[in-house]
Chains A and B, each alone.
Chain A
Amino acid sequence: MVTTSSTQGGAVAPPTAVPRPSAAPPARVRLLTTTVPARTAWILRAVSILGPLAAWWALSAAGAVDPAFLPSPAAVWTAGIDMARSGELPSDLLASLGRIGAGFGLAVLISVPVGFAMGTLGWAQPLLEPAIGILRYLPASAFIPLLIIWLGIGEPSKIALLVLGVVFFNTLMTADAVRQVPHRLLEVSATLGAGRWRVATHVVLPHALPGVIDAMRVNAAAAWNFVVVAELVAATSGLGYRITRAQRFLQTDRIFAILVLIGVIGLTIDVALRLLRGRVGRWAR
């Protein structure tokens, strides 16, 4: 106010006038999101993995905790090698992977078509969403006793647990991905002569596929959890079963080795689906 009136008045303000130092500096508001350089990001990633490992190693090396509770990294490594050599670990691993393949595969085979229908057909959404919305809040693990009564302690009850744990979430997430297809794209396809089936297979499916794979990636993690839970409760093979065996003999080093393996397998599944999504959804980035 003061500056404008004095310059516009023109009587005093000389052309060499400098801004007065007493004027308030321009306001400065920070954005919420921040970024770091690529190099820093890689260092932080290394710290994320190596930090906890180093802490574990330091804790056990210092002798602060009884090795029966917290075995050293070296002991865990040896226990893992032992189990791998004896052939226990490979056969348990195969048993667990077979279950996730069957259970998760079945869940995907059910949930993707149902989710697709929910995302496209007007009647499927109001018919299915309320039921699925309730069912998905029932914890799948709570069904274990019922599943054992119904299906016995063999493979079917474990696969059923996996399906129950994954199918509802994956259906709703698939339906969401399908609904993301822009309406304009569907309209334009019809004006180009594409009928409903062609639009479903040539427009909606390719557009939704990256989202569908993302949903699968999230739910594969849940499925991998449910395999181990099922095997902890009742099994004669699998990684979860191997943990209960080790517990009986207080072999914490073996439990740790199996936990590490479970983590590594989970990460591998995640990375594989990530790569698949990257290939399928190259256009989406």
Chain B
Amino acid sequence: MVLAGLLVVVFWLAMLLLAPLLAPYDPLAQNVRNRLQPPGALHSMGTDELGRDIFSRILHGTLVTLPAGLAVIAFGALIGIVVGALAGYYGGLLDDLLMRITELFMAFPTIILAMALAAALGPSIQNAVLALVIVWWPAYARIVRGLVLDVKHRDYVEAARSAGAGDFYILSRTILPNCLAPALILATLDVGNAILTFAGLSFLGLGSAPEVPEWGRMVSIAIDFFDQWWMWLYPGAVIASLVMAFNFIGDGLRDLLDPRLRGK
């Protein structure tokens, strides 16, 4: 399963890089005389309401959705790790303060925050990613804080401290390296979820502009063309396949690294 997931992800990563070479058509090229064509020899996934080739749009869509999902995880994890490390390491008032803030942000569900931000800043891919990052980091902050608390009194940390190392050195060289693995597992498990939520936001029109070949947006436009099932089925299925692949990998990693679930 992990292997299958990896293969799919590698496949989509390849698409990400090769889309411009592989796509048979320009994803923006319109041909209204050839609109709403069902899948056939010329257009393997049919054409949309302006006669654009859906297969080419899906290939180019990788360029939008995959980086967006990865960016959410990268920035979310980065902020979360910094906040969690500071809270766990220094403890006391700083810890209390940071953790209350963390809880505060957990209270706003992604979609609500994204809608509020879209209203305030206007809908765009960047704002959708920003909204997701704002709700994504608290989970990482909590986990990393727990890990840091666990590690910070270990011998090697104490050793570094008695050797006169500074806080920054201790945190970055002795504590964090020991917390990164679990955070990375969480991140892998999370990529699928981030892509899914991002697709949901674009489906609502809170992400890209209408002409941009973004998978969620393609599905939302296709709602007006319900009968032309190929307009929504293919982009929807592509989201599902990518998310499933990431979930395969995440599951596999967890099974490997979580001894409680290994074997009988």
A interacts with B = no
Measured CB to CB, the residues of B under 8 A from A are: none
